[in-house]
Amino acid sequence: MDEEKLNMCIEKLYTYRPAYYTIGSIRQYITGQSSLVKKHFKDKMDETKIIEEVNTNYGTICVKSQIPDYSSTNSIIYEALENTEHDLDDLKQKHEDMPTESNSKLVVSTTAIKNNEDVISKASKYLDELDKLVDNCVVYDTESMNDKTINVIKQIAARKLLAKELYCDCRKYLIYYNRMKEQFIKMSTLGDFARNYCYKGVHLGWNSDFNNILFSRYVDNYLISLDESQNSNKYGQYKLECRRLMSKYKKFTILVTLDDFDYTKDT
């Protein structure tokens, strides 16, 4: 019965992978490292603000410039620590002196799903819809926009609408992926089930993993522990300084929503 549940989850991954792949492609187009959208609005990404808010026949597209939620770069972490009066050299040394930990790590390979012809074909059909969605997109109140900006908005709106249509299927992929891992962990650690398993090309297994904690994570843990022992707010002060420096050095990213929702986030 447990193995049937595991296999069912794997089969569902094949069903919902095209939506997951397509939304990933859309996210890369809009906010990826070499995104044409980011390049187009780059000169306006100088502070936290709304860059464009435009009504289309697909809904309201809002383009915002903001400080990213993810971790700061090492250079900003170093400067933030020094600005909040922490001994950077001492923290670096403590981090380097940490013993390497050996842990069993769950490894999942879904390469067979990525390379499956039916999955690729269905994802391609989704992406083929984009040209039609772009052609049918109408941007209202364009007096203040040049032709290039209007075209960028159409490209964004078409992709956001497609992401909206595929959002539920994409979320289902993630749900079944996590269920698959949870089911395998339970079966392979609490019973006599195999430590390595393969079904329909999807491999799950355990490997030894030797990793040192990242410096950014070490700093977070260190300061949180310090606050707990000293009843202080050093971690909060440090994170605020990181955000201040991100703003100072204009380390902004772009957020694009359709009707106030980002259908490419958490997918």
Is 267 in contact with 25 (CB distance < 8 Å)?
A: no
CB 260 within 8 A of CB 60: yes
The whole-angstrom separation of Cα 122 and Cα 130 is: 14
| pLDDT digit string, tens, across residues 88-145 | 999 999 998 887 766 788 999 999 999 999 999 999 999 999 999 999 999 998 998 9
The number of distinct structural domains making up the chain is 1
- C-beta separation of 55 from 141 below 8 A: yes
pLDDT, residue 211, reads 67
- 173-209 pLDDT tens trace: 999 999 999 999 999 998 788 999 999 999 999 987 7
Q: Is the pLDDT of residue 167 over 80?
A: yes
Domain around 243: 2-258
pLDDT score recorded for residue 86: 94
Q: Give the chain's radius of gyration (CA, Å).
A: 23
Confidence grade of residue 11 (pLDDT, cut at 50, 70, 90): very high
| Cα 92 from Cα 162, distance rounded (Å) | 46
So what's the pLDDT on residue 259?
A: 98
pLDDT of residue 255: 94
According to the model, what pLDDT value does residue 68 have? Answer: 84
Helix, strand and coil in the chain, % to nearest 5: 60, 20, 25
Residue 11 lies in a domain: yes
Which is it for strands 202-211 and 101-109: parallel, antiparallel or unpaired?
Answer: antiparallel
Per DSSP, 27 falls in state: H
55 SS3 class: strand
Six-digit token pair at 44?
């306006």
Residue 229 lies in a domain: yes
Residue 179 CB coordination number (10 Å):
15
Predicted confidence at residue 101, as pLDDT, reads: 66
pLDDT exceeds 70 at position 1: yes
List Cβ neighbours of 102 (8 Å cut-off, separation of 6 or more): 208, 209, 210
pLDDT score at 265: 87
Q: Are 243 and 67 in contact (CB under 8 A)?
A: yes
Q: Kindly tell me if the per-residue pLDDT of 80 is higher than 70.
A: yes
Instruction: Retrieve residue 249's tokens.
Output: 């050095």
In a domain, 265, yes or no: no
Q: Is residue 203 part of a domain?
A: yes
Strand order across the beta sheet in which 49-56 lies: 49-56, 59-66, 253-258
Q: Residue 266 falls within a domain, yes or no?
A: no
Is residue 32 a part of any domain in this protein? yes
Angle at 150 between CA 145 and CA 155, to 5 degrees: 155
Confidence category of residue 15, pLDDT binned at 50, 70, 90:
very high
In a domain, 263, yes or no: no
Domain presence at residue 267: no
Q: How confident is the prediction for the chain on average, in pLDDT?
A: 93
30-34, 118-122, 212-216 — which one is most confidently predicted on average? 118-122
The H-or-E segment that residue 22 falls in is helix 2-31
